Amino acid sequence: MKLLVGLGNPGAKYARNRHNIGFMAVDRIAEDQGFAPWRSKFQAELTEGRLGTEKVILLKPQTFMNLSGQSVGEAMRFYKLDSTDVIVFHDEIDLAPGKVRLKSGGGHAGHNGLRSIHQHIGPHYDRVRLGVGHPGDKNKVSGYVLSDFAKADHDWLDDEMRGISDGAAQLAQDEGPKFLNAVAARVAPARPSTPAPKPVAKPAPEPEPEDDRSPLQRLADRFK
């Protein structure tokens, strides 16, 4: 069994924030893959289903980002899972918008949701890092991630969510490269290869008519 956790803040006010891209990811998986209705448990919204051969719990902590670990820890212990069975979807300012990367273990890099999860289950869990870009000034990061995606982001964001849903079964079965390939196929689909057009053969010039005049006649004709 796998526990897939989306990070975000509860409430309509935050629903389209960059910080809530983790919620968006698990919502899309649940919708596309026929999971049960969401219900409240472990200070979170929870749903169950299957991805491929794997039974999966999807979790959206409702404790606000900074306390996400409380919910994740409760759910992990209830289902008798190891931290290595946990996969967390979260926003990543150090990746460009539309970029998706996988990471196993490591630090929290100042992300408050990950910091809280570290405190409750340790660092040995997997993360799906969802790039949202950087505002360019570290003092603007908080306001940036707590603001909504721009309209210009909607197309790539929808493609990314579709790709995450497409590859969710591979992710749950520890096939990370196949998961990333599924995302890439949506976000940056391969262009169809079209053969170069064949050069059009130019028609051969028509032969000039044979001049059967005598040299004297040709000279006379030039002065007419």
Q: What is the C-alpha to C-alpha distance for residues 113 and 65, in angstroms, rounded to an integer?
A: 5
Q: Which tokens in the block code for residue 11?
A: 């409430």
**What are the two backbone dihedrals, phi and then psi, of residue 55, each rounded to the nearest 5 degrees?**
-75, 135
The dihedral through the CA atoms of 145, 148, 153, 154 has a sign that is positive
Q: What is the C-alpha to C-alpha distance for residues 188 and 120, in angstroms, rounded to an integer?
A: 37
- Told to judge if 118 belongs to the known catalytic residues of this protein, a careful annotator would answer no
Work out the number of other CB atoms within 10 angstroms of the CB of residue 118.
18
Picking from 32, 18, 182, the residue whose alpha carbon sits closest to that of residue 100 is 182
The answer to whether residues 71 and 59 touch, using CB atoms and an 8 Å cutoff, is yes
Contacts of 204 (CB under 8 A, 6+ apart): none
Q: What is the C-alpha to C-alpha distance for residues 104 and 159, in angstroms, rounded to an integer?
A: 24
Q: Which of 19, 90, 111, 118 is catalytic?
A: 19
Hey, which residues are catalytic here? 19
